[in-house]
Amino acid sequence: MNTATAIALLVLVAAGSASASDAAPADATAAPAADAKSPPLDAKPAPLEKSLSYGVGLRVGGGETTQTAANTVGVSSLDVRPYISGKIHPMVKFSANLDLNNTDASRIHVLDAVAQFEPDQLFNVWFGRFLPPSDRANLSGPYYQNAWLYPDAVNGYPSIYAGRDDGFALWGQTSGGQFKYQGGFFTTDANTPAKQGIYAARLTYNFLDPEPGYYNSSTYYGSKQILAVGGAVQYQRNGIPTATGKQDLLGFNFDALFERPLLGGDALSLEGAYYDFEQGNQGQSFFVLAGYMIGQKLGIGKVQPMVRYQQLMPTGGGTSTHVLDGGLNYILDGHNARLAFVVQHRDLPAVASTTTFQLGVQFQE
């Protein structure tokens, strides 16, 4: 092999090496693209978020009642409420609650059974048994109010049990509960004539912190700044039996709640409501309530003195009903754990006045 031939071979080998070296990065870059795979056509979507919650509420209360006849003593309130709620789709939910109460021969009642379609905060549909649009006290219920005893002297709205009716409601809210509307059609009997159902509606506006959701509370124990006003109306054709037949029921109310946290963890609560059942029911009524929670703990809880006055003025005059409550709440964990001592004096028409001293315990989990 001569020198010229050797040089030619070296040039060819070098050119081949350079070509191979230049091609390598292109192959390396292309490899990931070749490995990338598109989702198969039969791939299943991510599962929807579902949930199931359960709990129980318990209220036990009792004491002594003094009257002109012999005094009585005993446990006057035994209430157990199992709670179940769930979500099968972000827009589809349900609630199912039972109630066992010693004041009704210890029978188990269907308290709530609600199918909830909630596509948007502005528009929701509930169907089943639940609290209809009514006053704040009713929408709070006994477990979420300031006082231990429910204000039973003032409310004349019809119900099946514990304020509940069967029917449906349209409701919505803006700004997470700043403004709320509720309206619906309800019955108290499975065989109610079509023209004798209950039409119910309510509007609520919160000037300070919002109250989200269908229900509300009558105190937040200083966790919110509340200035809320609301009003409700219910109408039922031939809803009230009379000696000569039936009369229409037309009832309405206005209510307000003011609650403000103060220095040191204290909290002031003021609540009031006015009712008018002039057509076909008992007349006009109102209640006012004041409570003050002391922020400094006493032991493991906080003390809240409270006082409430109720008055009912019957249609057409006559003797009014007066009910005065005063007591101390001992707050362990908000509405989930509290103790209460209450004194209630009742002056009722044609009935001897009574004074009740009662201790109460409430737990929820």
Would you state the pLDDT for residue 183?
A: 98
Q: In this prediction, what percent of the chain has a pLDDT beyond 70?
A: 85
Q: CA 115, CA 91: separation in Å to the nearest integer? A: 11
Would you state the pLDDT for residue 208?
A: 98
**Res. 36: pLDDT tops 70:** no
Residue 316's Cβ-side half-sphere holds a number of Cα atoms within 13 Å equal to 4
Strands 245-261 and 51-66: unpaired
Q: CA 126, CA 117: separation in Å to the nearest integer? A: 6
Residue 226 pLDDT grade (very low, low, confident, very high; cuts 50, 70, 90): very high
**Comparing C-alpha atoms, which of 49, 55, 71, 60 is closest to residue 352?**
71
Would you state the pLDDT for residue 33?
A: 43
Q: CA 151, CA 255: separation in Å to the nearest integer? A: 13
Residue with token string 């490995």: 35
- Where would I find the H helices in the chain? 3-35, 136-140
The token pair that represents 76 in the structure block: 């006057």
Residues in contact with 108: Cβ distance below 8 Å, sequence separation at least 6, in sequence order:
98, 99, 100
**Comparing C-alpha atoms, which of 262, 261, 233 is closest to residue 248?**
233
Would you state the pLDDT for residue 46?
A: 65
pLDDT tens across 60-110, in order? Answer: 999 999 987 778 898 888 899 999 999 999 999 999 999 998 877 778 999
31 vs 249: which has the higher pLDDT: 249
In this structure, of 160-169, 241-250, 255-264, the range with the lowest mean pLDDT score is 241-250
pLDDT tens across 130-143, in order? Answer: 999 999 999 999 99
Would you state the pLDDT for residue 43?
A: 62
Q: Domains, the chain, ranges and CATH?
A: 78-321 (2.40.160.10)
pLDDT tens across 268-281, in order? Answer: 999 999 999 866 55
Would you state the pLDDT for residue 23?
A: 39
CB 228 within 8 A of CB 211: yes
- What DSSP letter does each residue of 132-146 carry, written as one string? PS--HHHHHTGGGSS
**Res. 120: pLDDT tops 80:** yes
Give the mean model confidence (pLDDT) for residues 232-245.
82
CB 57 within 8 A of CB 98: no
The token pair that represents 9 in the structure block: 């071979």
Would you state the pLDDT for residue 119?
A: 97
CB 248: neighbour CB atoms within 10 A?
A: 14
The residue ranges of DSSP E strands in 175-301, in sequence order, are 179-187, 198-206, 226-242, 245-261, 267-279, 283-293
In this structure, of 12-26, 133-147, 211-225, the range with the lowest mean pLDDT score is 12-26
Q: Return mean pLDDT, the chain.
A: 87
238 vs 30: which has the higher pLDDT: 238
pLDDT tens across 292-322, in order? Answer: 999 999 999 999 999 999 999 987 777 899 9
Would you state the pLDDT for residue 317?
A: 73
CB 277 within 8 A of CB 249: yes
**Res. 12: pLDDT tops 70:** no
